[in-house]
Every structure is written in structure tokens, then in C-alpha cells.
């Protein structure tokens, strides 16, 4: 059919390359690829059905993102041309019933997806309308197999749509076909049947029948029959079957399409009949429940009213004339004169026949009522219908319609009816677009527009009115296109200001963008003379993308428009309306926007005036409003305004503002729902007063401090954090000023210390509740340095108290509390940061270092929230690096090659030591400082901290790894004497190759010593995890590194990594080992066994089996140690956790396979251990061990030189298969079976010991939950 592929491939790009290529490839495959067509024909319809969803998704994705692309038009033409080649060309009298063409169906599927994405009105523009296709399309349509409800309904839909386009040809039907009447009757019959369908075919049938019945050569009796059908369907709608509503919808939809397209003279003849047919829908409320039917009825009524009126426009209507953007002729504005008004009143533009008057009156009444409907589509159709009918009415009647629309905005009863407001806004916009809203009605219309732009009604925890504001923006957009500057210029400044405030401050993104579009339209249509360069800047600032983010609009756009002359409008909008918004997010953003507005003001007198205005409005709301939204918003706004002032010295306003928080507390306004928000805002307000140095007397300062202390013990962490922040600012502003007397510091008095340091220490020590302990720790960390370091004893007490609370086994109110530990660590870090380094003597530094590195960095606590110990580990690592930085300020250099990063300059250190104690030779002889040095930090501390960071760098949690990766370079820069620093930097950070972090960490295992142990502990935890993708990456890197090391090492000596794994396994099975802790040991149990299994299966630990084969009599051999440790871990006496036992069994099975040839003695030992594990009292464990052992024996039967022969292996496999190991029977039965297995596999029975059943529990002394837990444990789950 002659459509080249280049037509598609050379079309310009409008969407992403991937979407476009997939779309075009699919079109080419359908239209041009013969191989694909032959394959589809060979495999049948099923393959096409499987690909349909994928093809539909590809087409839909491209068409929705590329609405104006020429590619879609070209593709439509190609597909419809291809479909035309697949049509039937047989005579009408002999159609091929049951016709099926899969190629046609695939093309129609693609066309339907394009149609659904682009709309059928755009689709029909690309459909060919050659007369020769009319016969073929009709014959193919009536030959389709089944009804439109079958899988081929898309083909049915496209053929109906195509047939409707072909019937738009103006040629007489008898000149196209032999019997035009029969063809029309057949088409009407097909369309009538499709009108009864619930699917999309109904829409295509309505389009097709409208183009058919509106032809000049088609008899009117077809339309009369359709009207009778509608009348009967609507009259009996409630008593018919379920198919009747769809039939009624289809008939009304078809008639509405006919009245849109048909000849007015012909349609007037049926106006009475049509109106009588749809009258039941207008009078009976039960028809309103069928929303789609009501929508089509409203469309039909509107078009019916238009059909009975004269088609010419009324002479009184307002017309804009030329619409150039530059608006050259301001003086040529149109005005309605008195003569025009009189002429308009006398003009005969009413109905041509008086019998149609009741139709017009009823239509107007129905449409006005429909503007208040709950369905948006109905309101939109009603608004357009009202405007079009009013454009053909006399001026007096049209003005009555306008007044009726405007009355909605002033009626108090309709204020809570958002549907009425939305429909009235749509109608107002349509009336303005069609010139019915005359300039004298502009003041009332703009007043209504202003109310609609601010319309919002709260319903519980949400609000309605976004659609009203969106429609109001559409009204403003329509007014800009309807009136010239000489008419709208008088009201333009106020209109622009209202639209601008909506574009910046509205809550909904679509409303902000609609207001931005209306603003651009008004500025562009009113010309340069009205706005100048400011208008261009406004349109550039308030772009579509800039208004997409609410935070960006409030915080970034507000100062920009304020500098353009809208500062006062924005300030008033925020102060009067938005600070009390129902949405918490809007209140917070409003406060931040106020800060941005006040911050751009530099005049001191203006700032004082702003403070007075804000205080007069917000202070009463903040202290006495019963509405939580106004109370919270006013506090936040006051806080941000005061913070933006920077300095404030008005004593009168200070006294007034200082009573806000006490008034809240005396009125008990913190209570109730969302009272925590008010507490946070109050803390922020107190911090703002302190930050701007508001003049407050000492009692008021202590009163505000007491309010913060009450909030610091709140149950919510956000409140405690806000209180601690406010305590920091308040104490720094009022209590942190250090005065000198005779060259010495003034110490704080006892009263102040009792209200701050001693009070918080007492609360932390007692630990009455977890919330109080957490808040007091935060407040201790927020105090200024001169309060904490009043004397040595005070600082020591603070450190000791916080270190005790940071201990990972510390109890608060009888339970472990991770938040208290984290708060204590953060407080220690803050204190270390603010105090002078001379206070951090070695004794204190070592205690802090031990708390951070040896305690916090090993906190592996768990609760129902997960790994809460990670919070303490992160805080401990940060605090340790901060401690190193404070103690060694001379190391904070930027040069990476300077030796002082590792060891401080000897001359400076010598001078420092000489000034302190005169010990110069000691430093020169020992440049690396150790424990016996007088300095606070040495090489051992640096190494321990570096080991902690490296371990957590290989942990499984992403947050811990990220923090460790950020802190490690800081440690190298700030801490002195880090051993092997260069080697670590080279392995981790050097070499620009894109190597993954797991591989780089595995190379650090070659460092040996403490670094090797620390890194290996972290790698085991990550590699043994099965929760994330990083676990598999770490596991692969560890196995690869172990294999590489095993190949490079000499077989006469075992590898260092293998010895480390054996040692860790031995430590894990030991009950007397003190390190690691019980929590850490339990955390590492499963990951270590999984890593061990992976390494043994990969062959990375083969050297230990080769060594053990020569020195198996040595009890210290690694292989023997490993099998002994695994035996202990797999026993019931060591652990009752089924997962841990199964993991140990997996390791033993891998051990069995690895030692089967090279170390038969160890293989016998592991096999004996596995048989002993079959004595487990848990059915689930026995079944798992038997299943895995059977699979492993099958593998061993295929291994040459195995330590067990083929016969015993086969006999053992048969015995394992014959027994139901998961059965709950007497253990003596399994003992006999296991002894038989020992005899078959030549294992001494002395190596097998029957494990006792779990001890019986006296159920009379246990409650129901304990007995159920015991049952679960016994069952092995």
C-alpha cells in the first residue's frame, strides 16, 4: 500500500527515545514485517493475546507523553491504511459471517490505544474518507464474529468510527451503492445494537449514527424511531433488566450527537417530541442517580434550547474585535451605547415559534440547576449550555441569567455548597468568553472572582474548594481574553494582586499553576504600557515548573515578588489568612515565608513597625485563641518574625510578648489533640525571643526556662528536640555571657546552677521515666561551656553521669532505652565540642574514648523497631572523631602531604612540653605518643577508633556505612599517629578505578592484626545477611578474596583468613569467652555460619583440611578445631534456635563435602556429628537434616576416592528416604535408625549420644501465654 518506513523514522522527536523507538518498532512490525505476520498466523491468536497488554502499554505511554507528535499521525495513517487492505470486499447481500482476521485485529488494537490516549475527535481527523472504503467497512462490520462484548470489541469500535467518518461524504448514497436505503437501514441497525453496549462501542455507535441520520438523503423516520425508543426506554427504566440503563444512555447520547451535528430546520420538527421524551429525567429524582445518563440529558437539553433559537448572535453582545498582544489601539475600545442598549432590548432574537418558549424556559431552568450538580462533567456541560443559549436571548433575559449566576456568590446559604460555586465560576467564564457579560457587570463579577479565589471550606481533617479556586483562575483567564485594557485596566491592579497571591500561596499545585497561567494571560493581553518590565519578570518568575513545589513557591518566590512591589500584599495575605490555615504544612510554610519577607527589609524603623503590626495581630491569637490552628500558626509566625528582626529593644512589646507562653500554660492550651504542635511552636517562640536579644528580666528568663524544662520531658522526640534547641539559644543569650573582674572569669552563682546543670543531672541520675532522662540529656548537651566547666568536680560529674547513661547495658525505669543512650552520647559530643581542649586531660579523654569506641560503637541492641543500637553506634563514632579533633587542634590541616597530620611538629611539641613540665628529651626520643605520655591522645586511641570505623564501614546497614565513610577521612586528617594510615588510604581511596566498596574493604584484610579482625567482623555481618543486595555483593567479594588468598599462599601453611574464621567460630561456641559480648555474639551467629558455609563450598578453606590430614593427631589442628566448634553449635544443648542449628548443619555438610577426599578423619567426625544432630527433639530440625544429608550423600556417591564406599552410601540413602523424620514418635525409634546408619557408614556408636528431650514445664505454674510459647519451641518453629 506504498507507505515507506522512512515516514515514521524521520518524524521529529516529541518524547523519550526509548518510548518512541518502541512505538515505531511496533507499528513497523504490524504493518511491514512479513515474518512477524507469518509467525503470528502460525502460532495462532493466543500469542497475539499474550502480547496485547505489553503493546497497549507501549502505545499508551508514548501517546500520553507526546500529544502533538507527528509520529502519531503518521502511525495512524499507516495502521489505517494497513487495515484497509484487510477489509472484506464481498457483496452486501452475502457477508462472510464469522469473519476473523488476526492482522486486522492487531492493527485495530493499536488504533484503539491511540484513540483512547488522544481522543476520538483527534483520531477521526487522520482516518481516510475515500468512498471506495464505505462498502468494505460496512461488510466487514456486519461479518464480525459475535457481539461487541467479545475480545474483538476494539475492532468493532474502530470500524464504527471509520464508518461514521465515511458517511460524512456529501455524495448521494444511491450514487455510492446500488441500494442506498438498504445500506442506511443496515447501518442504523448495527449502530442501534451497539448503543445498548456498556463499553466504548456505544460512543463510536453514537458518532456513526449521528453522521448517518443527519445526512440530507436519509429519511427523518429513522430519527423519529430513535426518539420513540428513547421515550420508551426512559419511561420503563426502573422496571426493565440491567441492560436498559445502557440502552437509554446510548440512545440519549446518539440524540445529543445528532442535535450537535444536524440541520436546525430538521431538528426543530422533532423538538417537542424530544423534549417530551426526556422530560421524565428532568422531573423525577431517581434518574439523577444514573450520572452518565444525566450528563447526556443535560447535553441534549442544552442543544435542544439552542436549536429552537435563531442562530445569529444578538446585537447587544459585547465583542472584543482585534486581539493583538501589543494592543496598538487603546482608543478603539468597544463601548455599548444607549442606542445599542435600546436596540438590543427591542431586537427580535427570541424563538421563532411561541410553542418553543416553554422549551427554552425549561432548558434554562434545568441548566441553572445543573450548575450545582455534584458531577463535574455535568456542571461543565451546563455552564457551556447556559452561555450559548444566553447568547441568543434578548438582553433582559440574558442579564437575568447573569444576575442569577452572580447571586450564588452573595447567598449565605450556598457558601458551603462548593459545587454551586464551581459551576457558577464555569458559567461566568463562559458568559465572559461569549460576550454576554457586559462591562457594566465587571465590578460585581470581579468581587465574585475575589471571593472564589479565597474559597475554602473545612470539612474535618480536610477541606473543599480547590476546584472552585481553579475555576476562578479560569474566569480570570477568560476575562483577559474578553476585554481590552481600556475596559479591564481600571480593575487590573487589584485583579493581578489577587491572582498573584493565589499563584504563590495556594495549597494545591494545579491551582497555583492555573493562577500562573491566568497571570501570564492578563499581563500578556494588557500590553507593555500596563506593566512594563515588571510584567515580564513576573511571568518569568512564576513559571510552570517554579510553581510546582509548594515549598519553593512560599520560600523562594515570596521575596522575589515582594521586591517587585507586592511586599505589603504578601505580608497581609500571610498575616491575615494563612497563619491560621487548617493544614499544618501551610502554617509552617507561611511562617517561613514571613521570615523571608521580613529578612529583606533593612530599615530599622520599618522593622520596628513590622514587629508592632505582627504583635498586635498575632499575640492575642497565640495566647488566647481556642482554635488550635490559629494558636499554632500565630506562635510560629511570631517566632519567625522575631528571628528575622535580629535585634529588638522595645520594652513595651517585650513585656507583652513575654506573657504569651505563660498565658498558654495558665489556660492549659497545651492539652488536647495536636497539643504537641503548640509546644514545639512555643519552644521556637522562646528561642526566637532569645535570638533577637529581647530585653527580659531575670524572673522572666527563669520562667521561660521552666517552660522549656517541662517540654523537654515530653513523650514525643520532636518536642524534646525543640525544647533542647530553645534551651541552647536561651542559655547562650542570657546565661552564657562571661564577664571579667580583675582579669578573671566570673563564676555562675549557685541559683543558676541549681536551675540548670544540677537540675538536669539529678533527673538523669534518677531516671524516673525514659522521657525525662532523654530530655535532660539533651538539655545538658545544650548548655554553654561556662556552666558545665564551673570547676573540675562539676565537669567530672557531668561526664560520669552521661557516660553511665551511655553504657549499652544501662537501665532506665527498669528497661533498656536506646534513645537515652543516644541522647547521652550526643550530649557528650556537644560538651566536648564547646569546652576548651585544656579541660580534656588524659584521664577524661580516655574515659570518653572508652565510652565512644568500646561501648557505643559496640552497641548492638535490638527491640521491636529493629537495630536501635545503630543509633548509638553512629553517635559514638561521630563523638569519637569530634573528640580527636578537639584534643588535637594542630592536626586540622588541609595539606594531605604534611607530616603533622600523622605526628605533630617535634619542635612545637617540645616547646609545649618544656613550658608545661620541662621534659623535652622524652618527646625527641619517642615521637609517637603512647599511654605513658602526658598528652591526651596517642597512637593506640587512633588505631582503636580507626578499627571501629573500618568495621562499621563494612556493616550491613547503609546509614552506618555512609557515616563511617564520611568520618574516616576526617579521622586521618585530625587524629595523630594513625598506624598504617597510608596503606588504608591507598586501598580505600586511591586508584580511580570504579571498584566496589566490598572489594576495596577485602583488600584491607591483608593489613593483619587489629585491622584484620575489625574488618572481618564487619564483613561477616554484611556477607552473612540475606536482606539486601549489598549482602550478596559483600559475600561475593569475600569469597573472591579468600579464593585469591588461598591460591597465593603456600599449602604448607594455612592462610591467615582461614585461621581467623576458625578462631571466630571457636569463640562463638565458647560460653566462657568474655569478648565479644552476648549481644554481639548472638548477632554474629547466623552470619558467621553462613559465611563459613559459603567459603567452604567455594574451596577457600581447603588449606585447613590439607594441614589437618598430615597433623590430624594434633588437637590444635585448625580442621579439628573447626569441626569441634561446629559440633557444639549444632547441638541442642548449646542453642534451641532452629535457624542457628540448621545453619550449623549447613556448615557441617559443606565441611563433609570438602574433607571427603583430603581429610577422611575429619569427614568421619563431621558425619558423626550430623548423625548425632538427627537426635534433635525438634521434628522440623530432624526433617531438614535428613533431607540435606540425603542430598549430600548423593553428591558424595559421584566423588572418586571418597572416604565411604558406594555400597554404604546407597544403603544410607535408602534408609534416610524410608523414614519420616518429621513424625512425632518416641525418640527410641529414631535412636535405632541412627544406630543402623552408624553401622552402615562405619561410624562408632560411642560418637553418637542421644540428646534428651526438652525439660518438662509445670503447666500449673505457667500462664496461657507461657504454655503457648513452650508449645511453639517444642514444635520447632
Which of these, 792, 789, 757, lies nearest to 776 by C-alpha position?
A: 757
CA of 1137: how far to CAs of 857, 864, 1093, 1128, 1169, in Å? 27, 19, 18, 13, 18
CA torsion 917-922-923-925 (nearest 10°) is 170
Q: Which residues contact 750 (CB under 8 A, 6 or more apart)?
A: none
Which of these, 1182, 1277, 1257, lies nearest to 1227 by C-alpha position?
A: 1182
Alpha helices in 371-465 (DSSP H): 376-390, 395-410, 418-433, 442-453
Task: Tell me what pLDDT residue 1177 has.
Answer: 82
Task: Specify the DSSP class assigned to residue 747.
Answer: P
Task: Tell me what pLDDT residue 862 has.
Answer: 87
Output the nine-digit C-alpha cell for 625: 485563641
Over range 1215-1228, report the average pLDDT.
83
Q: Flag whether pLDDT at 756 surpasses 50.
A: yes
Q: Flag whether pLDDT at 1065 surpasses 80.
A: yes
Q: Return the SS3 of 463.
A: strand
CB environment 1230-1253: b (16+ within 10 A), e (fewer): beebbeebbebbebeeeebeebee
Q: Flag whether pLDDT at 1091 surpasses 70.
A: yes
The beta-carbon contacts of 167-173 under 8 Å, at least 24 apart in sequence, are 167/134, 167/208, 167/211, 167/212, 167/215, 168/129, 168/211, 169/129, 169/131, 169/134, 171/131, 172/217, 173/215, 173/217, 173/218
Output the nine-digit C-alpha cell for 1137: 534456635
* Cβ contact 592:681 at 8 Å: no
Which of these, 377, 378, 360, lies nearest to 369 by C-alpha position?
A: 378
* pLDDT tens, position by position, 701-725: 999 999 999 999 999 999 999 999 9
Angle of helix 981-988 relative to helix 939-953, nearest 10 degrees?
A: 20
Q: Flag whether pLDDT at 927 surpasses 50.
A: no
Output the nine-digit C-alpha cell for 701: 528568663
Over range 1143-1152, report the average pLDDT.
89
d(Cα 1075, Cα 1138) in Å, to the nearest integer? 24
Task: Tell me what pLDDT residue 610 has.
Answer: 92
Task: Tell me what pLDDT residue 780 has.
Answer: 94
Task: Tell me what pLDDT residue 919 has.
Answer: 34
* Cβ contact 654:648 at 8 Å: yes
> For residue 812, which phi and psi values (nearest 5 degrees)?
-120, 120
More confident residue, 366 or 345: 366
Task: Tell me what pLDDT residue 995 has.
Answer: 63
Can you name the residues that pair with 745 across neighbouring β-strands? 740
Task: Tell me what pLDDT residue 1259 has.
Answer: 41
CB environment 1076-1097: b (16+ within 10 A), e (fewer): beebbbbbbbbbbbbbbbbbbb
DSSP 45-80: HHHHHHHHHHHHHHHHHHHHH-TT-HHHHHHHHHHH
Over range 521-545, report the average pLDDT.
82
Over range 602-613, report the average pLDDT.
90
**pTM for this structure?**
0.80
* Cβ-based neighbour number of residue 124 at 10 Å: 17
> Taking the chain, what is the end-to-end CA distance rounded to the nearest angstrom?
69
Upstream peptide bond of 1076 is cis (omega within 30 degrees of 0) = yes
What mean pLDDT, rounded, does the chain reach?
Answer: 80
Which of these, 1214, 1215, 1216, lies nearest to 1189 by C-alpha position?
A: 1216
d(Cα 268, Cα 270) in Å, to the nearest integer? 5
Task: Tell me what pLDDT residue 470 has.
Answer: 96
Q: How confident is the model at residue 910 (pLDDT cuts 50, 70, 90)?
A: very low
Q: How confident is the model at residue 147 (pLDDT cuts 50, 70, 90)?
A: low
d(Cα 120, Cα 124) in Å, to the nearest integer? 6
For cell 540425603, the residue is: 1190
> Is residue 842 exposed (0-12), middle (13-18) or buried (19+ Cβ within 10 Å)?
middle
Q: What angle do CA 406, 409, 414 make, to 5 degrees?
A: 120
* Cβ contact 910:920 at 8 Å: yes
More confident residue, 105 or 93: 105
The beta-carbon contacts of 1043-1046 under 8 Å, at least 24 apart in sequence, are 1043/1098, 1043/1099, 1043/1100, 1045/1100, 1046/1099, 1046/1100, 1046/1101, 1046/1102, 1046/1103
Question: How many residues can be counted in the chain?
Answer: 1277
d(Cα 891, Cα 894) in Å, to the nearest integer? 9
Task: Tell me what pLDDT residue 112 has.
Answer: 85
Can you name the residues that pair with 714 across neighbouring β-strands? none
* pLDDT tens, position by position, 673-706: 888 999 999 999 999 999 988 888 889 999 999 9
* Cβ contact 113:56 at 8 Å: yes
Task: Tell me what pLDDT residue 422 has.
Answer: 95
Range picked from 329-333, 614-618, 1241-1245 for highest mean pLDDT:
614-618
d(Cα 232, Cα 586) in Å, to the nearest integer? 55
Can you name the residues that pair with 459 across neighbouring β-strands? 462
* Cβ contact 1112:1164 at 8 Å: no
* pLDDT tens, position by position, 631-668: 999 999 999 999 998 888 888 888 889 999 999 988 88
Output the nine-digit C-alpha cell for 513: 499553576
Task: Tell me what pLDDT residue 1269 has.
Answer: 54
Amino acid at each position: 500500500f506504498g507507505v515507506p518506513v522512512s515516514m515514521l523514522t524521520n518524524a521529529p522527536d516529541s518524547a523519550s527515545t526509548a518510548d518512541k523507538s518502541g512505538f515505531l518498532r511496533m507499528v513497523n512490525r504490524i504493518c511491514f514485517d512479513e515474518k512477524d505476520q507469518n509467525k503470528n498466523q502460525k502460532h495462532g491468536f493466543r500469542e497475539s493475546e499474550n502480547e496485547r497488554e505489553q503493546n497497549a502499554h507501549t502505545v499508551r505511554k508514548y501517546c500520553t507523553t507526546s500529544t502533538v507528535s507527528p509520529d502519531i499521525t503518521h502511525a495512524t495513517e499507516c495502521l489505517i491504511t494497513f487495515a484497509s487492505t484487510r477489509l472484506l470486499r464481498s457483496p452486501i447481500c452475502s457477508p462472510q459471517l464469522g469473519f476473523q482476521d488476526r492482522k486486522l485485529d492487531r492493527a485495530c488494537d493499536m488504533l484503539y490505544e491511540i484513540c483512547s490516549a488522544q481522543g476520538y475527535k483527534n483520531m477521526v481527523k487522520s482516518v481516510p474518507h475515500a468512498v471506495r472504503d464505505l462498502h468494505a467497512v460496512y461488510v466487514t462490520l456486519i461479518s464480525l464474529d459475535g457481539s461487541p462484548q467479545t475480545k474483538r470489541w476494539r475492532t468493532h469500535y474502530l470500524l464504527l468510527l471509520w464508518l461514521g467518518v465515511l458517511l460524512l461524504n456529501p455524495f448521494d448514497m444511491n450514487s455510492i451503492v446500488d441500494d442506498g436505503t438498504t445500506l442506511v437501514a443496515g447501518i442504523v441497525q448495527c449502530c442501534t445494537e451497539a448503543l445498548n453496549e456498556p463499553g466504548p462501542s456505544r460512543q463510536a455507535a453514537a458518532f456513526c449514527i449521528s453522521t448517518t441520520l443527519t445526512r440530507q438523503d436519509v429519511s427523518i423516520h429513522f430519527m423519529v424511531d430513535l426518539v420513540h425508543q428513547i421515550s420508551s426506554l426512559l419511561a420503563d427504566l426502573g422496571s426493565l433488566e440491567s441492560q436498559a440503563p445502557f440502552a437509554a444512555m446510548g440512545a440519549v447520547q446518539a440524540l445529543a450527537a445528532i442535535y450537535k451535528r444536524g440541520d436546525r430546520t430538521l431538528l426543530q420538527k422533532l423538538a417537542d417530541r424530544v423534549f417530551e421524551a426526556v422530560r421524565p429525567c428532568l422531573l423525577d429524582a431517581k434518574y439523577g442517580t444514573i450520572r452518565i445518563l444525566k450528563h447526556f440529558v443535560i447535553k441534549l437539553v442544552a442543544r435542544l434550547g439552542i436549536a429552537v433559537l435563531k442562530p445569529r448572535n444578538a446585537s447587544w453582545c459585547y465583542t472584543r474585535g482585534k486581539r493583538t498582544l501589543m494592543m496598538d489601539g487603546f482608543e478603539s475600545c468597544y463601548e455599548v451605547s444607549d442606542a445599542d442598549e435600546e436596540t438590543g432590548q427591542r431586537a427580535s432574537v427570541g424563538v421563532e415559534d411561541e410553542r418553543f418558549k416553554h422549551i427554552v424556559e425549561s432548558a434554562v431552568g434545568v441548566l441553572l440547576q445543573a450548575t450545582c450538580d455534584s458531577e463535574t462533567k455535568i456542571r461543565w456541560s451546563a455552564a457551556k449550555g447556559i452561555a450559548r443559549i444566553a447568547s441568543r436571548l434578548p438582553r433582559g433575559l440574558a442579564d437575568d441569567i447573569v444576575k442569577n449566576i452572580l447571586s450564588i456568590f452573595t447567598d449565605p446559604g450556598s457558601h458551603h455548597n462548593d459545587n454551586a460555586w464551581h459551576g457558577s465560576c464555569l458559567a461566568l467564564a463562559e458568559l465572559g468568553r461569549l460576550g454576554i457579560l457586559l462591562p457594566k457587570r465587571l465590578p460585581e463579577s470581579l468581587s465574585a472572582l475575589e471571593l472564589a479565589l479565597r474559597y475554602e471550606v473545612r470539612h474535618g481533617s480536610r477541606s473543599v474548594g480547590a476546584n472552585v479556586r481553579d475555576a476562578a483562575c479560569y474566569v480570570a483567564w477568560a476575562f483577559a481574553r474578553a476585554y481590552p485594557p481600556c475596559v479591564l485596566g481600571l480593575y487590573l491592579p487589584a485583579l493581578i494582586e489577587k491572582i498573584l497571591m493565589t499563584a504563590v500561596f495556594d495549597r494545591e499545585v494545579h491551582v497555583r499553576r492555573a493562577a500562573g497561567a491566568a497571570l501570564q494571560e492578563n499581563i500578556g493581553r494588557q500590553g507593555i504600557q500596563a506593566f512594563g518590565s515588571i510584567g515580564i519578570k513576573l511571568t518569568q518568575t512564576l513559571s510552570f515548573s517554579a510553581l510546582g513545589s509548594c515549598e519553593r513557591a512560599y520560600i523562594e518566590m515570596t521575596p522575589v515578588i515582594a521586591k517587585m512591589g507586592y511586599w505589603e500584599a504578601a505580608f497581609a495575605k500571610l498575616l491575615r489568612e494563612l497563619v491560621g490555615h487548617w493544614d499544618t504544612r501551610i502554617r509552617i510554610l507561611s511562617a517561613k515565608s514571613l521570615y523571608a519577607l521580613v529578612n529583606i527589609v533593612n530599615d530599622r524603623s520599618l522593622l520596628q513597625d513590622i514587629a508592632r503590626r505582627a504583635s498586635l495581630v498575632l499575640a492575642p491569637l497565640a495566647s488566647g485563641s481556642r482554635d488550635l490552628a490559629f494558636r499554632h500558626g500565630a506562635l510560629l509566625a511570631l517566632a519567625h518574625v522575631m528571628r528575622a528582626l535580629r535585634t529588638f529593644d522595645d520594652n513595651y512589646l517585650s513585656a507583652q510578648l513575654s506573657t504569651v507562653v505563660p498565658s498558654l500554660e495558665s489556660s492549659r492550651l497545651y492539652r488536647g489533640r495536636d497539643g504537641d504542635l503548640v509546644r514545639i511552636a512555643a519552644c521556637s517562640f522562646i528561642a526566637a525571643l532569645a535570638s533577637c536579644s529581647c530585653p527580659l528580666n531575670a524572673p522572666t528568663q527563669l520562667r521561660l526556662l521552666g517552660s522549656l524544662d517541662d517540654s523537654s520531658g515530653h513523650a514525643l522526640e520532636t518536642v524534646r528536640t525543640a525544647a533542647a534547641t530553645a534551651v541552647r539559644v536561651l542559655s547562650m543569650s542570657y546565661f552564657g555571657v562571661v564577664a571579667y573582674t580583675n582579669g578573671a572569669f566570673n563564676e555562675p552563682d549557685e541559683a543558676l546552677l541549681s536551675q540548670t546543670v544540677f537540675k538536669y543531672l539529678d533527673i538523669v541520675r534518677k531516671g524516673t521515666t525514659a522521657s525525662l532522662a532523654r530530655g535532660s540529656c539533651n538539655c545538658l548537651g545544650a548548655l554553654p561551656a561556662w556552666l558545665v566547666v564551673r570547676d573540675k568536680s562539676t565537669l567530672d560529674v557531668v561526664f560520669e553521669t552521661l557516660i553511665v547513661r551511655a553504657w549499652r547495658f544501662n537501665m532506665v525505669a527498669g528497661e533498656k532505652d536506646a534513645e537515652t543512650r543516644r541522647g547521652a552520647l550526643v550530649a557528650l559530643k556537644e560538651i566536648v565540642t564547646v569546652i576548651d581542649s585544656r579541660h580534656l586531660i588524659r584521664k577524661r579523654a580516655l574515659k570518653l574514648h572508652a565510652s565512644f569506641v568500646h561501648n557505643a560503637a559496640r552497641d548492638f541492641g535490638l527491640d521491636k523497631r529493629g537495630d536501635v543500637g545503630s543509633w548509638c553506634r553512629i553517635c559514638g563514632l561521630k563523638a569519637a572523631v569530634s573528640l580527636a579533633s578537639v584534643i588535637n587542634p594542630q592536626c586540622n590541616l588541609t595539606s594531605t602531604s604534611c607530616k603533622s597530620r600523622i605526628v605533630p611538629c617535634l619542635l612545637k611539641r617540645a616547646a609545649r612540653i618544656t613550658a608545661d613540665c620541662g621534659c623535652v628529651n622524652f618527646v625527641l626520643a619517642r615521637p609517637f605518643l603512647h599511654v605513658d605520655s602526658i598528652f591526651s591522645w596517642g597512637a593506640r586511641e587512633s588505631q582503636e577508633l580507626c578499627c571501629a570505623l573500618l568495621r562499621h564501614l563494612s556493616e550491613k546497614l547503609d546509614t552506618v556505612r555512609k557515616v563511617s565513610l564520611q568520618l574516616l577521612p576526617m579521622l586521618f586528617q585530625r587524629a595523630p599517629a594513625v598506624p598504617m594510615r597510608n596503606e588504608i588510604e591507598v586501598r580505600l581511596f586511591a586508584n580511580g578505578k570504579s571498584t566496589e566498596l566490598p572489594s576495596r574493604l577485602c583488600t584491607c584484610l591483608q593489613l593483619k592484626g587489629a585491622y584484620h579482625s575489625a574488618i572481618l567482623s564487619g564483613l561477616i555481618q554484611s556477607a552473612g545477611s540475606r536482606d539486601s543486595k549489598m549482602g550478596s555483593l559483600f559475600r561475593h567479594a569475600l569469597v573472591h578474596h579468600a579464593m585469591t588468598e588461598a591460591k597465593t599462599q603456600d599449602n604448607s601453611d594455612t592462610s591467615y583468613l582461614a585461621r581467623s574464621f576458625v578462631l571466630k567460630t571457636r569463640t562463638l561456641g565458647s560460653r566462657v569467652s568474655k569478648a565479644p559480648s552476648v549481644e554481639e555474639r548472638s548477632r554474629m551467629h547466623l552470619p558467621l555460619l553462613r559465611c563459613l558455609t559459603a567459603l567452604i563450598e567455594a574451596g577457600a578453606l581447603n588449606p585447613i583440611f590439607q594441614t589437618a590430614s598430615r597433623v590430624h593427631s594434633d588437637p590444635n589442628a585448625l580442621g579439628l578445631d573447626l569441626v569441634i566448634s561446629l559440633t557444639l553449635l549444632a547441638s541442642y544443648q548449646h542453642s534451641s534456635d532452629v535457624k542457628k542449628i540448621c545453619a550449623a548443619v549447613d556448615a557441617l555438610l559443606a565441611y563433609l563435602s570438602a574433607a571427603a577426599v583430603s581429610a577422611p578423619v575429619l569427614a568421619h567426625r563431621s558425619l558423626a556429628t550430623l548423625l548425632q544432630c538427627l537426635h534433635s527433639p525438634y521434628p522440623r530440625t530432624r526433617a531438614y537434616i535428613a533431607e540435606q544429608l540425603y542430598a549430600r550423600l548423593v553428591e558424595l556417591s559421584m566423588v572418586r576416592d571418597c572416604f565411604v564406599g558406594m555400597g554404604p552410601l546407597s544403603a544410607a540413602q535408602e534408609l534416610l528416604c524410608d523414614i519420616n523424620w518429621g513424625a512425632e514418635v518416641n525418640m527410641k525409634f529414631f535412636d535405632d535408625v541412627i544406630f543402623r546408619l552408624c553401622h552402615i557408614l562405619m561410624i562408632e556408636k560411642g560418637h553418637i549420644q542421644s540428646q534428651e528431650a526438652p525439660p518438662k514445664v509445670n503447666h500449673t505454674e505457667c500462664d496461657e501465654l507461657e504454655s503457648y510459647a513452650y508449645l511453639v519451641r517444642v514444635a520447632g518453629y
